[in-house]
Structures are given as structure tokens and as C-alpha cells.
């Protein structure tokens, strides 16, 4: 079949659009922090550094960084230890929940979930330390010692050596020429390492000449056993070695010790810096700062043959140091904090806050991403006027008319205004109409712009709960008469197309709708509708969709108000949403706690839950399109805090309990015309097998794809402003090398535009 086109087109030469560098549709991207390093190891000229969330490798010859996380192959999150085994060139990755990954030199990941899934294990499952002996890896866990055969990628043995075979929290393991030693919370235990049955607790004894204390580290060095006694008090840890007669204290000054390591015939004490000792236990060097007098918190260390110290620093990622002055920080691009609580996204700009409800002194700050790069922000933030510390960043909104202006709400220190990424103003109860009945605190959570460019903010623990800032910087505030507002906690606010302000008091489980009747300065014509309800469910969040309907996330699923303009009549209530599942009609997510909702360019609903990950539902909520969980996707957690969508690219940003990631969705915001139509990837090369996107379309665009002779190859309709083609013809076969035409027409036929795609095989 040939398409006879009435389109007026101008065929241009092919150009490579920078947008082709976006992640492909249907793929994931991590936005993790790699600053909070917990472990480091080295092998074959590659340094591996683990944060709590993921690993990155640094090739010391090529000077390249590679990420390794849930998206790129790891099996879990919350890493505790990593160790490279030079015996067989395998990397061992251990997790807080006992999960284990073994990665070979071909980057194949083998998962060993024996510890994680074993429900009969008593005691903690976290892996505290990894000791290598040829192909065997001895894992110190919260219940005992697990021995891995890293040649066969299997568990070889498990030692429960506590009283009568009870669990014993083991912090580290080492060998000398005769025995295996285990540092525990109540002393050091040992057994003959050549025993054929170390799983028998009777084979184990406790060192009686060492006081009963918590020992966090143990190594065999210079013919002596060396232990670290852990103290609950800061800088009070101590190191001892056995000189053949008594236990001798090595370092007399206060220490905070995280690791004992032996490299290049030196003993390294790692913690608040590095202390290096020779084989006579004399201090030969101290590494205590990393440029500009910033202190070191070394969670792990490796020294290579060239004398470089590779340090896993708790706040600064990976440090390469020769001494206190020759320092290099190595870090993948990402946020500077692992916490992702609230986010806003617009035109490729991403702003993220780290949370703080119920924590009045959470100093984890904000982060922002511009043009694909996370930019450096301070680890602590101060008021530019008063110099006071700012804390508990809980909400964020980008000005839709000026992406260089951003506002952040804090739970205690007011409303922050940023211009061109710089904090320029802090508004609080002392210098604005923002109200607070608690002296010195201004809790601002819900913030939103209306269609008139006014910024609305809601203040908890206040009498005048609602405030608005106009584009000309005039301020007004409002109270709801008859309600005791000073004990309320307002955490959600939206402004709908009617300019109604919707507010949720989550402490008292009340929802208000406020209408200022178009007169900010006249309060006599204001209206308030109180106490919207959804049966016995707690209303958690709400959002307006593209049709002007208000969708609610609750403790018992999802509800909707179809005609919010009638809400003040008292007749418009929250309606249930039904879905057909397994031949049964059910309430949408009625057993789920829905914490956040986002609307994509096709008016579909992205629902974030507390326990079951993310659902993508059809426009009316009646059909499940996607369901992402930690079991079927790279989601870091099934507890979702926030979802926002970049309407321009279709990228869906998901803030989880354990960090931020994004998924490239199929829908973008519809355009008013076809002036910015483009196709990506373009050209489509032989090694690409994903879908092709046609973007910049109007709503419900009819898209027809033909070969250069006009034969119809495929036909589809846009999702919002984007259509998707799988690169196959009407018979399901992948198209051949050549140029293909894309003809786009609006639903009424008044608008049209063409594009072309080059396929290369």
C-alpha cells in the first residue's frame, strides 16, 4: 500500500541531534550518591570503591570510571564490604542483608542468596568483614562465619561457634600459622585452622589473656596478633598486639578506628585518618587531611605497590593519596547525599531534597542536576542574611516560567529562594507573613505555583496557615476560622486549574479546599471547603490530571474527584476507581498505601506505594500498563517517596527510600504544533535494538511510517507528544537499511509535518 501525501515537506540533510544522547526508552539510569564510601579494594590495576548504594571502579591506567549498581548488574543495595581476590580475579560484594555477589573478570555476576533467604538464621545477617585465603573467602557476619568457595561460587561451610553452637556476632577474621581467629563483641575466639570440623563449636576457644571487650578488627602482622578494641566513646578506640608475653598497646592517643589492614609490609590503622606502622610497630607516617585541611574518615584503605593510599572516605568518595598534600578525589557524577525525599523536574533540570519530617536537625541538603550533570552543593547550608544553619529540606518547586528560580520548603527554617542555583533569600515567620506559633521555627512543606505565577506555601503549627507570594513580591496570608491550626501538620498542597488550593493536614487527617475568588487582597469573599473524605482511608497525597480531575493517593488505594469545580456545593465527593483483574472487578490498589502520584504527557497515572513499588495505570486508572518492584526492575526500594516526570523528555524520576533513579517513559507533553519534531536515535545503527521515538508531536498525532517509495511500513498514535516505533514493519520484521519517512498529522488534519529516519545494518 502506498501513501499519497498532501503534506508539504522540506527534506533536510541528516544531522545528529544531541538529544540522541538521552538514555533509550524503557531503560533506567541511577542518580546515586557515591560520596559515602564504605569499602575499597584493588586488583589488576583497577580500584573498586563501594558506597552504601553501589560500586564504581577506577582503571588506574586508562583513568576511566565505570559504575556498577542494580541497573548495571548488581543484585542488591546497601553494600557493607567488597574484596578483590587476586587468586582467581574475582570481586566479592557483600550486603547488609547477607546477600552476596561474586563478579568474575568477564563481569559476570553470580548471586549467592543463601544467607539472605535463610529464615532459620538467628542474629544479624550483615557481612562485617571479608578475609581471603586462596580461593576461600571467610565472611564475618552477625551470626558467625560463612566460608565461600570463590572458585565454585558456592558456600563451603558455616561456623556457629557460640555457646552450644549459638550465633556469635563476628566482626573480623584472620589466620596465623596455626589458628583461625575471630574478633567478636565479647572477645577473640580461635580454633586450629587445620581442623576438619570447624563447624563444631567445641573446636573453638576464647583467648583468656585478653579482656572481655568488643574487638572490631583483627590482623596477623609481623609475627604477632593485632586487635582493635572498640569503644562506644568517640576517639577512644585502641590497638594492641601480642608480644609473646603480654598484650601491648600500640598507639597512646585517642583513635576512631574503622579498619586494620596490612599492605607492603606495613600495618595501616584506618579511621580518622591513616596511621602507618612498620614491622617494629613504630609509626612511620600519618595521613590525616585531604587538601584544604579537610579531615579524613577512612572506612577502608588499600595501598598499591607504588605507595598510593586508596581511601574509601565516608563523605568524599575515593581518595588517592601519597601524603597529606598530594591528593586526588575520584568520584562518579551524582548527588552528594544518598537520601532522596522530594523532587521537582523541568526541562532537564532536577532538584532534590533529602527530607526531615520528625527530624528537626536533619542537615542533609538539597541537590540539583543541570544539563545531565549533578553540580556540587555545600554539605551544610546557612542563611545568607543571618548566618544561621538551615536544616530539614522537605519540598521543592521549580518556577515553571523561570527554571533558574527554585523554592525549597524546610521543616523548621522557612522557605528558601534560589536564583541561578544560589540561595538568595530565606523567608520565615520573622521576616514575612509566613506564620508559626513555635518561636524560631517555620515549617513550610507544601509549595506550588498557580497559573498566575503566584507562589503558594502552607505553614504547619501556625494560625495563618496559607501564604502567597506574587510575582511582584507582595505577600498575603490566610487563616481558616474555627479550626485550631497550631497543632496541624500540612504536608501537601496543589493549585488546580480553577485556582483552588488543596491542602492536606496529615496530622489531623483533614483535607481543605480554598478559593480566594481571584482577589488576593480581599478576604471577605474567600471560601473554604473542609473535610473531604474517602471512607475510612487516610488521604496522603493528591494531584490534578490533564483533564482537571483531582486524583488522590490514600492508605486504601486511589480515589478521584471528576468535577472539582463543584466541590464547594458539597455534592462532589471522592469516587473509587475500579479495575478488572483476573476476571474480577476490584478497587484500584485498595490494599496499598499510595504515597505519590505523577501524571505523564498521555494523562496516565504513575502511582508510588509504600510497599509495592510503582504502578503505571491508564488514563482512567482502569488498566495496569507497568508495575515495577525490586523483584522485576532495578528499583532500589519498594517504598516510594516521590515521582516527577520531565514532560519534555518523558523521563520519570523516582525517589525511593534508598535513593533516586529514573526510567525513560514513552509519553511526553503534547506540543501546540509540529515546529520541533525530531526522531531519536537517528540514525538507527545495526547494534541498536530498542524502540525509536518521534517527539515534538501534538496530542493524539496520527503517525504513519513509509519507505522512500511511499509503501506503508507502520502506523501508530502519539502518547502525548511522543510516538514509539519498534523498527518493525506491519508483518513484524525488522526493516532493512534505508531511509524511512515519518508523516505526522493532528487529529483534525489541520497540522502536519514530516521527518525521516536512516536505518543502518
Position 126 pLDDT exceeds 50 = yes
Residue 3 is predicted with a pLDDT of: 42
> What is the distance between the alpha carbons of residues 122 and 143, in angstroms, rounded to a whole number?
7
The larger pLDDT score, comparing residue 644 to residue 119, is at 644
Residue 412, domain member (yes or no)? no
Residue 632 is predicted with a pLDDT of: 96
Average pLDDT, the chain: 92
For residue 751, what are the β-bridge partners? none
> What is the distance between the alpha carbons of residues 285 and 489, in angstroms, rounded to a whole number?
54
Using an 8 Å Cβ cutoff, are 217 and 245 in contact? no
Residue 465, domain member (yes or no)? no
> What is the distance between the alpha carbons of residues 287 and 272, in angstroms, rounded to a whole number?
9
Q: What are residue 298's phi and psi, to 5 degrees? A: -85, 110
Burial of 255 (0-12, 13-18, 19+ CB in 10 A): buried
Q: For 702-726, what is each residue's pLDDT tens digit?
A: 999 999 999 999 999 999 999 999 9
Q: For 411-423, what is each residue's pLDDT tens digit?
A: 989 999 999 999 9
| Domain limits for position 703 | 18-22+674-759
Residue 693 is predicted with a pLDDT of: 95
**Mean pLDDT calculated for residue range 202-229:** 96
Cα–Cα nearest to 651, from 635, 662, 640, 661: 662
Cα–Cα nearest to 506, from 552, 450, 549: 552
Residue 735, domain member (yes or no)? yes
> What is the distance between the alpha carbons of residues 672 and 697, in angstroms, rounded to a whole number?
8
Lookup result for grid cell 538464621: 121
Strands of the sheet containing 309-313, edge to edge, are 298-303, 309-313, 317-321, 327-330
Over the Cα atoms of the chain, what is R_g? 30
Domains of the chain: total: 1
Q: For 486-536, what is each residue's pLDDT tens digit?
A: 577 889 999 999 999 999 988 888 899 999 999 999 999 999 988 788 989
C-alpha cell at 532: 473531604
Residue 690, domain member (yes or no)? yes
Residue 356 is predicted with a pLDDT of: 76
Q: For 354-373, what is each residue's pLDDT tens digit?
A: 987 765 567 778 999 998 99
The model's confidence at residue 233, banded by pLDDT at 50, 70 and 90, is confident
Residue 364, domain member (yes or no)? no
Query: In CATH, what number is assigned to the domain containing residue 698?
Result: 2.60.40.3080
**Mean pLDDT calculated for residue range 161-173:** 96
- DSSP H stretches of helix in 9-80: none
> What is the enclosing helix (H) or strand (E) of 65?
strand 64-68
Segment among 344-348, 484-488, 643-647, 749-753 with least mean pLDDT: 484-488
Residue 662, domain member (yes or no)? no
> What is the distance between the alpha carbons of residues 761 and 758, in angstroms, rounded to a whole number?
10
- Strands of 557-691, DSSP E: 557-561, 575-576, 578-581, 584-587, 594-599, 605-609, 614-617, 624-628, 640-646, 651-656, 659-664, 678-680
Residue 300, domain member (yes or no)? no
3-state SS, 674-728, equals CCCCEEECCCECCCCCCCEEEECCECCCEEEEEECCCEEEEEEECEECEEEECCE
Model's pTM, two decimal places?
A: 0.93
The model's confidence at residue 153, banded by pLDDT at 50, 70 and 90, is very high
> What is the distance between the alpha carbons of residues 203 and 193, in angstroms, rounded to a whole number?
10
**Mean pLDDT calculated for residue range 12-37:** 73
Cα–Cα nearest to 53, from 489, 635, 511, 573: 635
The model's confidence at residue 6, banded by pLDDT at 50, 70 and 90, is very low
Query: Which of 677-714 are b and which e, b meaning 16 or more Cβ less than 10 Å from the residue's Cβ?
Result: bebbbbbbeeeeebbbbbbbbbbebbbbbbbeeeeebb
Position 240 pLDDT exceeds 90 = yes
Position 21 pLDDT exceeds 60 = no
Residue 736, domain member (yes or no)? yes
The model's confidence at residue 18, banded by pLDDT at 50, 70 and 90, is very low
Position 667 pLDDT exceeds 80 = yes
Residue 360 is predicted with a pLDDT of: 57
Amino acid at each position: 500500500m502506498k501513501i499519497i501525501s498532501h503534506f508539504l515537506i522540506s527534506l533536510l540533510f541528516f544531522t545528529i541531534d544531541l538529544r540522541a544522547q538521552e538514555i533509550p526508552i524503557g531503560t533506567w539510569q541511577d542518580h546515586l550518591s557515591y560520596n559515602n564510601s564504605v569499602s575499597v579494594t584493588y586488583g589488576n590495576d583497577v580500584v573498586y570503591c563501594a558506597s552504601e548504594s553501589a560500586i564504581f571502579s577506577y582503571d588506574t591506567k586508562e583513568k576511566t570510571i565505570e559504575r556498577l549498581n542494580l541497573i548495571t548488574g548488581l543484585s542488591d543495595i546497601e553494600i557493607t564490604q567488597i574484596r578483590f581476590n587476586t587468586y582467581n580475579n574475582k570481586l566479592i560484594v557483600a550486603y547488609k542483608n547477607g546477600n552476596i555477589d561474586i563478579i568474575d573478570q568477564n563481569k559476570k555476576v553470580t548471586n549467592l542468596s543463601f544467607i539472605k533467604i535463610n529464615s532459620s538464621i538467628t542474629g544479624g545477617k550483615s557481612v562485617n568483614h571479608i578475609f581471603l585465603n586462596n580461593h576461600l573467602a571467610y565472611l564475618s557476619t552477625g551470626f558467625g562465619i560463612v566460608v565461600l568457595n570463590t572458585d565454585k561460587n558456592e558456600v563451603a561451610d558455616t561456623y556457629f561457634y557460640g555457646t552450644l553452637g549459638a550465633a556469635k556476632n563476628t566482626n573480623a577474621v584472620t589466620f596465623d600459622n596455626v589458628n583461625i581467629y575471630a574478633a567478636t563483641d565479647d572477645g577473640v575466639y580461635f580454633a586450629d585452622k587445620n581442623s576438619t570440623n570447624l563447624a563444631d563449636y567445641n573446636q573453638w576457644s576464647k583467648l583468656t589473656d585478653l579482656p572481655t571487650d568488643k574487638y572490631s578488627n583483627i590482623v596477623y602482622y609481623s609475627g604477632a596478633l593485632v586487635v582493635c578494641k572498640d569503644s562506644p566513646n568517640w576517639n577512644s578506640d585502641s590497638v594492641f598486639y601480642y608480644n609473646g608475653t603480654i598484650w601491648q598497646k600500640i598507639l597512646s592517643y585517642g583513635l576512631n578506628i574503622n579498619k586494620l589492614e596490612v599492605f607492603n609490609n606495613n600495618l595501616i590503622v584506618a579511621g580518622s585518618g591513616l596511621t602507618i606502622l612498620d614491622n617494629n610497630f613504630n609509626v612511620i607516617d600519618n595521613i590525616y587531611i585531604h587538601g584544604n585541611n579537610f579531615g579524613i574518615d577512612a572506612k577502608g584503605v588499600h595501598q598499591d605497590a607504588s605507595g598510593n593510599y586508596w581511601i574509601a572516605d565516608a563523605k568524599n568518595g575515593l581518595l588517592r593519596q601519597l601524603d597529606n598534600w598530594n591528593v586526588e578525589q575520584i568520584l562518579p557524577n551524582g548527588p552528594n547525599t544518598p537520601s532522596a525525599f522530594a523532587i521537582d523536574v523541568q526541562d532537564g533540570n532536577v532538584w532534590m531534597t533529602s527530607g526531615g519530617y520528625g527530624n528537626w536537625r536533619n542537615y542533609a541538603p538539597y541537590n540539583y542536576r543541570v544539563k545531565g550533570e549533578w553540580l556540587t552543593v555545600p554539605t551544610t547550608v546557612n542563611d545568607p542574611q543571618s548566618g544561621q544553619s538551615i536544616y530539614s529540606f522537605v519540598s521543592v518547586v521549580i518556577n515553571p516560567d523561570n527554571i533558574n528560580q527554585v523554592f525549597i520548603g524546610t521543616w523548621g527554617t522557612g522557605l528558601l529562594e534560589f536564583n541561578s542555583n544560589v540561595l538568595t533569600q530565606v523567608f520565615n515567620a520573622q521576616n514575612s507573613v509566613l506564620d508559626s506559633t513555635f518561636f524560631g521555627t517555620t515549617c513550610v512543606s507544601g509549595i506550588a505555583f498557580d497559573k498566575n505565577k503566584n507562589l503558594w506555601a502552607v505553614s504547619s503549627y501556625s494560625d495563618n496557615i496559607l501564604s502567597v507570594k506574587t510575582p511582584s513580591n507582595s505577600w498575603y496570608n490566610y487563616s481558616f476560622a474555627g479550626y485550631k491550626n497550631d497543632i496541624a501538620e500540612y504536608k501537601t498542597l496543589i493549585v488546580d486549574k480553577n485556582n483552588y488550593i488543596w491542602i492536606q493536614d496529615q496530622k489531623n487527617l483533614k483535607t481543605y479546599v480554598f478559593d480566594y475568588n481571584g482577589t488576593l487582597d480581599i478576604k471577605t469573599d474567600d471560601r473554604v471547603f473542609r473535610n473531604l473524605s474517602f471512607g475510612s482511608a487516610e488521604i496522603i497525597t493528591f494531584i490534578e490530571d490533564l483533564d482537571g480531575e483531582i486524583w488522590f493517593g490514600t492508605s486504601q488505594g486511589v480515589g478521584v474527584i471528576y468535577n472539582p469545580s463543584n466541590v464547594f456545593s458539597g455534592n462532589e465527593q471522592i469516587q473509587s476507581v475500579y479495575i478488572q483483574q483476573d476476571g474480577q472487578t476490584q478497587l484500584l490498589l485498595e490494599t496499598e498505601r499510595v504515597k505519590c502520584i505523577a501524571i505523564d504527557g498521555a494523562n496516565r497515572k504513575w502511582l508510588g506505594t509504600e510497599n509495592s513499588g510503582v504502578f503505571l495505570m491508564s488514563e482512567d486508572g482502569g488498566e495496569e500498563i507497568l508495575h515495577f518492584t525490586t523483584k522485576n526492575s532495578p528499583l532500589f526500594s519498594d517504598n516510594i517517596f516521590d515521582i516527577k516526570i520531565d514532560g519534555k523528555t518523558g523521563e520519570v524520576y523516582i525517589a525511593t527510600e534508598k535513593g533516586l533513579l529514573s526510567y525513560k517513559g514513552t509519553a511526553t507533553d503534547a506540543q501546540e504544533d509540529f515546529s520541533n519534531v525530531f526522531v531519536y536515535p537517528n540514525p538507527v545503527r545495526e547494534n541498536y535494538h530498542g524502540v525509536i521515538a518521534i517527539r515534538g508531536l501534538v496530542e493524539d498525532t496520527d503517525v504513519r511510517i513509509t519507505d522512500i517509495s511511499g509503501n506503508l511500513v507502520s502506523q501508530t498514535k502519539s502518547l502525548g507528544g511522543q510516538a514509539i516505533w519498534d523498527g518493525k514493519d506491519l508483518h513484524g520484521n525488522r526493516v532493512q537499511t534505508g531511509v524511512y519517512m515519518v508523516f505526522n498529522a493532528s487529529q483534525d488534519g489541520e497540522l502536519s509535518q514530516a521527518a525521516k529516519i536512516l536505518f543502518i545494518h
